[in-house]
Structure 1
Amino acid sequence: MKFSELPLPEPLQNGLADAGFVDCTPIQERTLPISLSGKDVAGQAQTGTGKTAAFLVTLFTRLLKDSPPEGTHHPRALILAPTRELVVQIEQDAQLLGRQCGLTIQAIYGGVDYMKQRDALREGADVIIGTPGRLIDYLKQKVYSLKQIEMLVIDEADRMFDMGFIADLRFILRRLPPFDKRQNLMFSATLNQRVMELAYEFMNMPEKVSVTPEKMTAENVEQVIYHASRKEKFPLLLGLLRRDGMERTMIFINTKREGEYLHDRLNANGFPCRLISGDVDQKKRLRILEQFKSGELPILIATDVASRGLHIDGVTHVVNYDLPQDCEDYVHRIGRTARAGAQGKAISLADEDGALYLEAIEEYIKAKIPCEWAEDELFVTDFKRVARPKRAPLPSRGKEARPERGKTSSRQKRTPSGKGSETAAAAAPRQQPATSQGAGADEAAPAKKRRRRRKTKPSGEGQEQQPAPEAATTE
């Protein structure tokens, strides 16, 4: 099916033609006839199949056909996404497809100018694309209203649950007009039970559309895995970079600290790269992504914050330096390459820890990842070494670390034959019986107490009540 065959407004048709959209993808072909008729849709498709264009085409068509209420500046459409990068990506696609529609599009997300976004909302926007957190912040300040929303889109709904946004999502949805007064679209890579419960609660009898092929991963992605120890992974990565000449490569890691260490080592060995993670400032993250998209930056190291929703043309290689703990993240990671029919290669390095996740990944994608064994020549041993980033210092315990007055420290308690215990024993009065000593002296001289217990007590009532141990009688 072609976009020209669909009953779309002329400004939208022109925007699609300018963007080079001619043929519909499978998810677009199955979704658009239903959504353009005004029905709710819950769509499932793997990453990189054109879900964004599917709901943008429906959204623009509905807003252009229905004239807005007079004298209002409140938004008419709301698009919710889990990550800032995905919000930015959706906004760019919306500006591209809707450039001739005359609609105001505003992105709302954290990490950028707070007052600037608030002023933009006050001036009015037809379409809002945002993350739940900052949208709720402005909503509580009554900067904008959701009472006139005609179209709701939830993108990457399963990720909303994974990132803990479900409470915020429900807070927003409960402030929208009734579900039968608006059109609702929800798209996700997986439509599990939690996602469908959300759909049935806040949508108007949605039709479920699933475009999931037998292979969970894109067909044009060449997958390969190398088994290497933790110490061998970096020499092997250098060998692969030198052998394959990876023009535009994304390297995924599991932790920020490992990413910083890999970033320093690659730059020290002549491979320019940058790192993006959840702790990097938003403006810096966007600047790094722009450098990578333009080709100025050949290698991008990223945590899973960049594994979903980012459409970057020309990514030739994806390297899983750390295999993901979540099998779904593997599909999203390698989906950054081989997009829009292009070819790509996904290389995974499985160390002692990563091998534990391999079985679940292969079971999820319903395929065995081809394994290759690296020759000794592929490992680079003459690389420059750098120091591992230091861990953040632990907070000082302050006064809590000091023992209370009159009591010895735990170290003195654990070493009864040490110098501290001997000093405390010498300081205690020798003629004072054990029953009359205070708690401090009793704890400070455990060795002396044991010596007194070994002695045989004199005959009498005390001896009958507490007989001496056998070791004392044998002496």
Structure 2
Amino acid sequence: MFNELKISDRLLKALDQLNITEPTDVQKETIPAALAGKDLLVGAETGSGKTLAFVIPMLQKLIDNPKPSSGTRGLILAPTRELAEQVEKMFSDLAAFTQVKIQSVCGGENWSNQTARLRKNPEVIVGTPGRLKEHLERGTMDFDDLEFLVLDEADRMLDMGFKDEMGYIIDACPEKRQTLLLSATLNHKNLESIIKVGLNDPQRLQLATAQDAVDTITQQMILADNPAHKERIVLWLTENEEYDKGIIFCNTRVFAEELGERLMKQGMRVGVLHGELEQPERKRILNLFREGRINHLVATDVAARGLDIEGVDLVINFDMARKGDEYVHRIGRSGRQGRQGLAINLIMSSEWNLAATIQRYLRVTFEQRVIQGLKGHYKGPEKVRKNGRSVGTKRKKDDKKGKTDNKPKVKNRARDQKHVGKRRQPSAVSLGDGNAPMMKRKPGQNLDLD
């Protein structure tokens, strides 16, 4: 129970109003360690309750040591606007019976309005790295009074190319502070450089792995011939599966828009979500989805991180995710907090090896499924290796003594092509000019110069 974690009655009252009674594993481990003042490296997958794991200790410290005249005391870095706004809402709900205020600072918002809100001096800021760095450079924000820094989903921020921005922001923070870094994996290739500059002798808490995160999700695979075949499968699934809300993932913005438009023409209640949408439009679509006015999202990976929407129990990967971690975050939109979910992967021949790699990474086997009446021609590879990848035909290597093709290789040189299509002019010959070109005489041929 939360009352065993030695936190304020005001926080317990807020948790009670939110109907949150039992802490998750990540909260049980992280909150006491954070309250003890340690820097932490927390390995926790999406849906494990990690937001509360850092919000509660931050709020508790601000309650215990009120400083109404100070500047920003807490900073939370998040990879996307959606996640930042979600953290802001959770923080505000938990701080309902305190005087602590939080402000989100993300790109895509009006700069003047954002700067005006910052002048109100919120104690806690949550934002995305790019916009925070811009405020620091322009002098509209400083972290001189900062006591608590959280790097949420640090692996995702690195994957999105925010390494330099993260380093810049860390450098702008006082050395004497407490830092929590949360990541899906603590073995990310670029994570060590951030740990060295950002944390002081951190304690490692590996609380959930990618494999743990998908235990409650049924994962299926349906083979498809082409995108048009996939589209017919999606229409069948949305008409016949029992679910409340579903997300259909695509790899590109352009295709997500095209697919969303076609599905809407088929009568589906669909919204399209991707990173190029203006912030007001993204908010509008997410609100429609939360309220149930639309029950499908066609989305790129911008929706895979941090979105915690009640009732999502179906995920369809129209395009297979490019990496194992991206796949985990996609299907993690369903099956959250121990609930059951269903993930269906539509696999063409070009995606077989990608699906095999992800299954090997997660140590799972997708349940292969066939829909009667929609069975395609593609049956999977004829032969597979031990790792599940297809056995392809190897290209013949050149023989050491010569080429496998006995035809001589002809070089295509630019100088041989410059007169192609042009009428050749007769060469001029001058006996008095030693620099003039001379006509070449073939053996036995006389040149008549008269």
Fold in common (TM above 0.5) = yes
1:284 counterpart = 2:281: yes
Give the count of matched residue pairs: 399
- Whole-Å separation in 1 of the counterparts to 2:418 and 2:83: 56
Quote the RMSD (CA, aligned, Å): 2.4
- 2:214 maps to amino acid: A
- Whole-Å separation in 1 of the counterparts to 2:114 and 2:53: 27
In structure 2, the residue matched to 1:187 is: 182
- Whole-Å separation in 1 of the counterparts to 2:224 and 2:119: 55
For the residue of structure 1 that corresponds to 2:146, the secondary structure is: coil
Higher helix content, 1 or 2? 1
1:434 counterpart = 2:427: yes
In structure 1, the residue matched to 2:292 is: 295
Aligned match for 1:88, one of 75, 85, 88: 85
In structure 1, the residue matched to 2:401 is: none
Task: Tell whether the 8 Å contact from 1:109 to 1:134 is kept in structure 2 after alignment.
Answer: yes
Q: CA deviation at 1:154?
A: 0.5
In structure 2, the residue matched to 1:12 is: 11
Aligned match for 1:200, one of 196, 212, 237: 196
- Whole-Å separation in 2 of the counterparts to 1:47 and 1:214: 9
- 2:26 maps to amino acid: I
Task: Tell whether the 8 Å contact from 1:216 to 1:366 is kept in structure 2 after alignment.
Answer: no
Q: Give the alignment's TM-score, normalised by structure 1.
A: 0.79
In structure 1, the residue matched to 2:342 is: 345
Q: CA deviation at 1:241?
A: 1.4
- Whole-Å separation in 2 of the counterparts to 1:347 and 1:377: 15
- Whole-Å separation in 1 of the counterparts to 2:223 and 2:362: 19
Unaligned runs of 5+ in 2: 377-413, 430-438
In structure 2, the residue matched to 1:155 is: 152
- Whole-Å separation in 2 of the counterparts to 1:143 and 1:251: 40
Question: In the TM superposition, what are the counterparts of 1:133-172 in structure 2 within 5 Å?
Answer: 133-172=130-169
For the residue of structure 2 that corresponds to 1:290, the secondary structure is: helix
For the residue of structure 1 that corresponds to 2:222, the secondary structure is: strand
1:459 counterpart = 2:445: yes
Cα gap change, 1:296/1:130 in structure 2, threshold over 3 Å: closer, same or farther? same
Identity, in percent, stands at 33
Rg (Cα) greater in structure: 1
For the residue of structure 2 that corresponds to 1:316, the secondary structure is: strand
Q: Give the alignment's TM-score, normalised by structure 2.
A: 0.84
- 1:226 maps to amino acid: I
Task: Tell whether the 8 Å contact from 1:39 to 1:206 is kept in structure 2 after alignment.
Answer: yes
Q: CA deviation at 1:332?
A: 0.4
- Whole-Å separation in 2 of the counterparts to 1:189 and 1:377: 37
- Whole-Å separation in 1 of the counterparts to 2:210 and 2:265: 43
Question: In the TM superposition, what are the counterparts of 1:51-450 in structure 2 within 5 Å?
Answer: 51-68=50-67, 71-72=69-70, 74-178=71-175, 181-192=176-187, 193-212=189-208, 215-230=211-226, 231-376=228-373, 421=421, 425=423, 433-435=426-428
For the residue of structure 2 that corresponds to 1:42, the secondary structure is: strand
Unaligned runs of 5+ in 1: 380-409, 437-451, 463-475
Question: In the TM superposition, what are the counterparts of 1:6-45 in structure 2 within 5 Å?
Answer: 6-45=5-44
Where in structure 1 do 4 or more consecutive aligned residues deviate above 3 Å?
Answer: 413-416, 455-458
- Whole-Å separation in 2 of the counterparts to 1:144 and 1:358: 45
Task: Tell whether the 8 Å contact from 2:2 to 2:22 is kept in structure 1 after alignment.
Answer: yes
Spell out, residue by residue over 1:373-430, the C-alpha distance to the aligned partner (whole angstroms, 9 max, x if none).
2222579xxxxxxxxxxxxxxxxxxxxxxxxxxxxxx9xx7995xxxx4xx64xx8xx
